[in-house]
Amino acid sequence: MRFFLTVLLWISLLTGCTPAPAPMHLHQIYQRDSIRVGILNGPTSYFVGPDGATGYEYELAQALADKLGVKLELVPAFFIDELLVKLSNGDIDLIASGSTISEALQQKYRLAPAYQLADEVLVFGQQKRRPKSLQDLSGPIVVLKGSSQAETLLALKTTEPQLQIELNDTDDPTELLQKVAEGKIAYTLADSHMLAINQRFYPNLGVALTLKRQQPVAWLLPKNSDDSLYAVLIEFFGRSYEGADLLTLEDKYFGHVRRFNYADTLDYIEAIDKTLPRYKNLFEQHAGALDWRLLAALAYQESRWDPKARSPQGVVGMMMLTVDTANLMKVSSRVDAAQSIRGGSRYLQRMLDRLPERIPMPDKLWFALAAYNLGLSHVESARLLTEKDGANADNWAEVKQRLPLLRQRKYYRQTRTGYARGDMAVYYVENIRRYYDTLLWVDERKQAELKQKAASSAATPAGSQTPAAVKKAAPKASTSKKSEPKQP
């Protein structure tokens, strides 16, 4: 009721001295006990993962429903046009697209407060020559029909008549980025946050030009005189900024992908194919309660999966253990891959166990990784600085802003442990998170391929031959000594 009264106050502020119209939209939401959110299916908005529904826009929409005390009713779609029709017909209350909003849509619909800003960037495959200007392009730019990117390019066409534009009405933005990575199309125009997500999987995607900067990412509402839901969103996003909820959510989905290194990601994906198979069983065997893929990502950050790795500081092996840590974890040989992985896994679990139980996951895991790198006492010092600032010391997004302060005397003199390279610990954790995400994606794709292959084999009747096998068994029509091409 307090929240509802605050909404009415916002309506009165928005409408000045004029009596506020009846809050019909908000009233309808309470009457049906649900808010209907149109949402695009995609990696930055909403998708169903192994543990259920997830995505930045999905979590924001759920938080809004929780704030209102109603159920969240998702209406997913693959194209924005489908959702616009539903919004115009009153079948949904708002659209959470997770993408920049074109000027045309801003004229036709009401824009909720922007909660992100994204650049519109021209994306090319780094295996090809980078164009230095729009005049330097060697092919068309493929974009989604009706998108903000399409509007940007069509407007540019008036001053850049040579510009080739191909409007696509079948693929989603992720598929267009994948086609650029695979060389199937030369260019696309994408939102910068969408590109950041996909560069973990397709490291050869690069930015050639930035065509528009700081474009709003916001939800869409019907354009009418009913301010009731709009007032709710003003307060919702305002409180989310003040309470650092948006900061936490942005860190969860985008905080670790902003820093992208083309060569490093390319090397990592190659190492997953060539090096990881030799040690995968060891990671699975010694992961304990941890995900083996997280343990593998930690090991790659530490040693690039080199069991004989050494640093100038005297840390050694796959998990780069110090002598003291090795002794504590009962590791007799730090260059033995099995012992090192077992010791590193136990040490990370020890960090987790020593952190307060009240810290939620995955924040607790990020703190444990920072402690693995920097030491738990320094992490606690950063948490103390966070608490002194009146922020949430159990929130990784808040604490990671204070960790770099441990390099500055005016801050580290307030702690018991003194100076520490806290900024390096932040990079360390973000790198592991990127490696982990990439390995999850690669591993899940391989598992899907194996299931598909098993299903195909099961569908083939016993004793029969697949077309490929028949072709391979057929008599050769030639006596040439050239070898037959290998079957896929």
Q: What is the pLDDT of residues 412-468, one digit of tens each?
A: 888 888 888 898 899 899 999 999 999 998 888 888 888 888 887 777 655 555 444
**Mean predicted lDDT score pLDDT of the chain:** 85
Contact of 438 with 268, CB cutoff 8 Å: yes
- Would you give the DSSP letter of residue 171? -
> Residue 182 above 50 pLDDT?
yes
pLDDT at 488 over 50: no
Say yes or no to pLDDT of 393 above 70. Answer: yes
What is d(CA 191, CA 97) in angstroms, rounded to the nearest whole number?
12
- The token pair at 50 is 């192994």
CATH class of 262-432: mainly alpha
**DSSP label at 132?**
S
H-run or E-run covering 317: none
Rounded to whole angstroms, the Cα distance separating 86 from 82 reads 7
pLDDT at site 464: 52
pLDDT over 50 at 356, yes or no: yes
Q: What angle do CA 201, 206, 207 make, to 5 degrees?
A: 135
pLDDT at res. 351: 97
Token representation of residue 20: 């506020």
Res. 240: pLDDT tops 90:
no
CATH 1.10.530.10 occupies which residues in the chain? 262-432
User: Quick one: pLDDT band at residue 470, thresholds 50, 70, 90?
Assistant: very low
| DSSP, residue by residue, 344-398 | HHHHHHHHHHHS-TTSPTTHHHHHHHHHHHH-HHHHHHHHHHHHHTTS-TT-HHH
- List the catalytic residue out of 57, 302, 380, 398: 302
Half-sphere exposure of 478 (CA within 13 A, CB side): 5
Amino acid identity for residue 90 in this structure? G
Q: Give CA–CA dist 334/155, Å, rounded.
A: 61
Question: Which tokens belong to 37?
Answer: 């959110």
Q: Which of 9-13, 293-297, 370-374, 388-392 has the lowest mean pLDDT?
A: 9-13
Q: What is the CA radius of gyration of the chain?
A: 27
pLDDT for residue 23: 55
The arithmetic mean of pLDDT across residues 256-285, rounded, is 85
- Going from the C-alpha of 424 to that of each of 63, 402, 404, 421, 471, the distances in angstroms are 33, 12, 8, 6, 57
Query: Per the structure block, which two tokens stand in for 236?
Result: 């919702």
Q: Into which CATH architecture does domain 116-216 fall?
A: 3-Layer(aba) Sandwich (3.40)
Q: What percent of the chain has pLDDT over 90?
A: 53
Instruction: Give yes or no for residue 189 having a pLDDT over 80.
Output: yes
The stretch 326-351 carries a mean pLDDT of 96
Q: How far is CA 1 from CA 19, 70, 297, 326, in A?
A: 21, 13, 47, 57
First to last CA, the chain: 64
Q: Which of 119, 393, 358, 361 is nearest to 244 (CA)?
A: 393
CA atoms within 13 A on the CB side of 68: 27
Question: Which of 12-21, 271-280, 307-316, 350-359 has the least mean pLDDT?
Answer: 12-21
Instruction: List Cα–Cα distances, 286 to 44, 336, 370, in angstroms.
Output: 33, 14, 20
In this prediction, residue 428 carries a pLDDT of 92
What pLDDT score was predicted for residue 275? 96
Mean pLDDT in residue range 126-152: 90
What is the structure's pLDDT at 262? 67
CB 228 within 8 A of CB 284: no
For the domain spanning 2-114+218-255, the CATH number is: 3.40.190.10
pTM of the shown model:
0.65
Is the CB of residue 36 less than 8 Å from the CB of residue 75? yes
**Once rounded to an integer, what is the mean pLDDT over residues 161-190?**
91
The predicted pLDDT at position 288 comes to 94
Cβ atoms 109, 221 nearer than 8 A: yes
Between residues 38 and 448, the one the model is more confident about: 38
- Percent pLDDT > 70 in the chain is 87
Active site residue 120: no
Using N-to-C axis directions, what is the helix angle for 422-459 and 292-303, rounded to 10°?
130
Start-end of CATH 3.40.190.10 domains in the chain: 2-114+218-255, 116-216
